[in-house]
Structure 1
Amino acid sequence: MRIRPMKPCPPLARNKLRLLALTGLTLASLGGQAWGNVVTSVRPLGFIAAAIADGVTSTEVLLPDGASPHDFALRPSDVQRLKSADLVIWVGPEMEAFLTKPLAGMAPGKVISLAELPTVTPLLMKGSEGHHQHEDPHQPQNQGHPHQDENQAHDDHESGEEHHHHGEYNMHIWLSPDIARQSAIAIHDRLLDLMPEKKRQLDDNLRFFDQSLTKNDKNIATMLAPVSGKGYFVFHDAYGYFETHYGLTPLGYFTVNPEIQPGAQALHKIRTQLVEQKATCIFAEPQFRPAVINAVAKGTSVHTGTLDPLGMGIALDKGSYANFLLSLSNQYVSCLEKNI
């Protein structure tokens, strides 16, 4: 049997074949979907986004471990990551001032400003520059508040836009389980708009997040109950949502803006309370370990601990936000239980 040689393809046919081959390769490389990734400003927002996007798309965090949103400066590679992202999630300009200009030119549908969501704004807590972080009976109105130091207030004012600016509200919103729940819903809804074909997976992820948050919330409340009456100081005024939600007893903080050292009057007030044994612990942070904490605590019986409000080292996965809250709770307990 004689096999006839195949006729060569005409140029037009060859071009069509090449186009089909390239299209197939592109779809294969994208896993069948032309979708990029989600980028969040800080790690705790990445925990929430990763839970909702699990099995749907990837989640990246802009700030590396050890960095703080209070003084972060974008690198050219960071700007490129923002431009190539299909969805960027941040708190808002009062928290991540360094993102204000880069995000201004992005399409509104590609950015979620969590603090501006209509479901979140009613849950916002007054910030320290609104006189008191929260109207909590445990929070003394005239004790341990560095912003009442005239020199400190002047320094805060002079810092202006150069550093992270705390406005009317506390913008550490990821420390509120209630706001985290609303944030998850908003992320779910936006991803659903962008990828309606992934509705089932997105719905399942939101349901899992909601259920795990409820279960974890009860466990943490039980864990923190024995130390809820123990007084303590934190270095940075960031924990109001968490403290109020779980009924903790903060006596005050060293500074509103961690880039500005507390004034002498504020340190004197804190030192007086430590000497009078009104506080069990003083908490520093991994990003900020000022020598002033050790200096004030020297010669007293107060313990020192570390609180990590950014969840450094916690991997992004379906359960990472619950792990973050649990880790923070353990950090409180490990220091406050020492005098029980």
Structure 2
Amino acid sequence: MVHKNKWLQYTLIAGSLMMAGSATAAVVTSIRPLGFIASAIADGVMPTEVLLPDGASPHDFALRPSDIKRLQSADLVLWVGPDMEAFLSKSLKQIPANKQLAISELPAVQPLLIKGDDEHDHKNEHDHNHNHNQKHDHDHDHKHATDSAMAAENEHNHGEYNQHMWLSPEIAKVTAIAIHDRLLELMPQNKDKLDANLRQFEDQLAQTDKNLVRILTPVQSKGYFVFHDAYGYFEKHFGLSPLGHFTVNPEIQPGAQRLHQIRTQLVEQKAVCVFAEPQFRPAVINAVAKGTQVRSGTLDPLGSGIALGKESYGNFLQALSNQYLSCLK
């Protein structure tokens, strides 16, 4: 009886360990859009989990102890890189290199990167760095406030290149290939499934791209302002016409001079729309647009509410396109 009880105890412990191991085996992505790509490639092989909850922004997120455990137990961690998710840098130093993938560091991504602000390089944007980042409107005329704001921007910048690269269909394809290759290294026994998933992702992406070019072409000449400098890859790919942005970094509110410039441009350039974001709903956008004919819309660069799955990245691009269309048409 004693031996039987011990055997039962060992069996239960072993079963618990197996269940724990299977529950934690996953691809963990920093943000939901990377989860869209990963879940398509890992479908039927392992689950994909997203670290940031809906409504959170990679610009100001802080890891909890439970998040660190998820990272440590993941089979693969997918992130943009240290210039975007600085909060991950320390924790990922403890994780083997073959179990993490930084999109911004992929050799095939390098030629596709655009510099921050290149997509908004209009004559009316030449001084955005000097005006957008003053946190307190009441003292924007004082030199010490300007110096402080400049220091804040330098402290919070996100690298030389625009880090919102998940909004590029070209970079999404490169990312999918990289995920496929890394998972194939980790689990070669799943080659057939991984190969099929990659082919399906590429085919769906090509079809989605073709459809979106068709529906966005009629609004390519419509001018608008976005809340922060996040959409350059998407705008460049689909030939849209942004007039500018309220801020480069959403943690830093634009100052009064910057807002005055934007309001002037809204009137003079007959912008069709100003876009806010669900992660950041600054009252300044409504204040600047008040009394003009400009409509207000919302763009969600993180795909909040879209379920992970084989078609989720295409659904994300479609949803973002619909958000543009609803305000620009």
TM-score by length of 1: 0.86
Q: Is the 8 A contact 1:79 1:102 kept in 2?
A: yes
Q: Taking structure 1 as reference, are residues 251 and 155 closer, same or farther at Cα in structure 2, changes over 3 Å only?
A: farther
Q: Taking structure 1 as reference, are residues 294 and 204 closer, same or farther at Cα in structure 2, changes over 3 Å only?
A: same
Tell me how far apart the structure 1 counterparts of residues 15 and 55 of structure 2 sit (CA, whole Å): 39
Corresponding residue SS for 1:142: helix
Q: How many residues align?
A: 318
Q: Taking structure 1 as reference, are residues 104 and 148 closer, same or farther at Cα in structure 2, changes over 3 Å only?
A: same
Q: Taking structure 1 as reference, are residues 210 and 145 closer, same or farther at Cα in structure 2, changes over 3 Å only?
A: farther
- The equivalent residue for 1:71 is 60
Q: Is the 8 A contact 2:273 2:295 kept in 1?
A: yes
- The equivalent residue for 1:4 is none
Alignment of 1:238-317 (within 5 A): 238-317=230-309
- The equivalent residue for 1:111 is 100
Q: Is the 8 A contact 1:39 1:85 kept in 2?
A: yes
Tell me how far apart the structure 2 counterparts of residues 36 and 161 of structure 1 sit (CA, whole Å): 38
Tell me how far apart the structure 1 counterparts of residues 5 and 91 of structure 2 sit (CA, whole Å): 40
Q: Deviations over 1:156-183 (max 9, x none)?
A: 54226864x3210001010000000000
- The equivalent residue for 2:140 is none
Q: Deviations over 1:301-321 (max 9, x none)?
A: 000000000000000001000
Q: CA deviation at 1:52?
A: 0.3
Name whichever of 260-269 and 36-45 sits farther off: 260-269
- The equivalent residue for 1:37 is 26
Match of 2:151 among 114, 135, 158: 158
Dislocated runs of 4+, deviation >2 Å: 14-31, 141-146, 148-157, 159-163
Match of 2:87 among 87, 93, 98: 98
- The equivalent residue for 1:184 is 176
Is 1:234 matched with 2:234? no
- The equivalent residue for 1:198 is 190
Structure 1's unaligned 5+ residue stretches are 1-7
Amino acid in the other structure paired with 2:291? G
Tell me how far apart the structure 2 counterparts of residues 151 and 72 of structure 1 sit (CA, whole Å): 20
Q: Deviations over 1:131-158 (max 9, x none)?
A: xx23x7xx52333863242865845542
Tell me how far apart the structure 1 counterparts of residues 114 and 63 of structure 2 sit (CA, whole Å): 28
Name whichever of 33-42 and 179-188 sits farther off: 33-42
Name whichever of 310-319 and 73-82 sits farther off: 73-82
Report the identity percentage: 64
Q: Deviations over 1:63-109 (max 9, x none)?
A: 00000000001111111111111110000000000001010121100
Q: Is the 8 A contact 1:52 1:205 kept in 2?
A: yes
Q: Taking structure 1 as reference, are residues 124 and 20 closer, same or farther at Cα in structure 2, changes over 3 Å only?
A: same
Q: CA deviation at 1:275?
A: 1.7
Q: Taking structure 1 as reference, are residues 172 and 82 closer, same or farther at Cα in structure 2, changes over 3 Å only?
A: same
Q: Is the 8 A contact 1:144 1:252 kept in 2?
A: no
Q: CA deviation at 1:299?
A: 0.6
Q: Taking structure 1 as reference, are residues 69 and 24 closer, same or farther at Cα in structure 2, changes over 3 Å only?
A: closer
Tell me how far apart the structure 2 counterparts of residues 245 and 96 of structure 1 sit (CA, whole Å): 24
Alignment of 1:132-147 (within 5 A): 133-134=118-119, 139-143=121-125, 146-147=128-129
Q: Deviations over 1:160-210 (max 9, x none)?
A: 6864x3210001010000000000000000000111110010000000000
TM-score by length of 2: 0.89
Q: Is the 8 A contact 1:145 1:252 kept in 2?
A: no
Q: Is the 8 A contact 2:59 2:85 kept in 1?
A: yes
Match of 1:84 among 73, 82, 90: 73
CA RMSD of aligned residues (A): 2.7
Tell me how far apart the structure 1 counterparts of residues 191 and 37 of structure 2 sit (CA, whole Å): 18
Q: Is the 8 A contact 1:144 1:266 kept in 2?
A: no
Q: CA deviation at 1:18?
A: 6.9
Q: CA deviation at 1:23?
A: 9.9
Bigger radius of gyration, 1 or 2? 1
Is 1:55 matched with 2:47? no
Tell me how far apart the structure 1 counterparts of residues 311 and 218 of structure 2 sit (CA, whole Å): 26
Corresponding residue SS for 2:124: coil
More helix by share: 2
Match of 2:109 among 120, 131, 136: 120
Q: Deviations over 1:274-305 (max 9, x none)?
A: 12242000000001110100111011000000
Q: Deviations over 1:218-257 (max 9, x none)?
A: 0000010010000000011000000000000000000001
Q: Is the 8 A contact 2:273 2:296 kept in 1?
A: yes
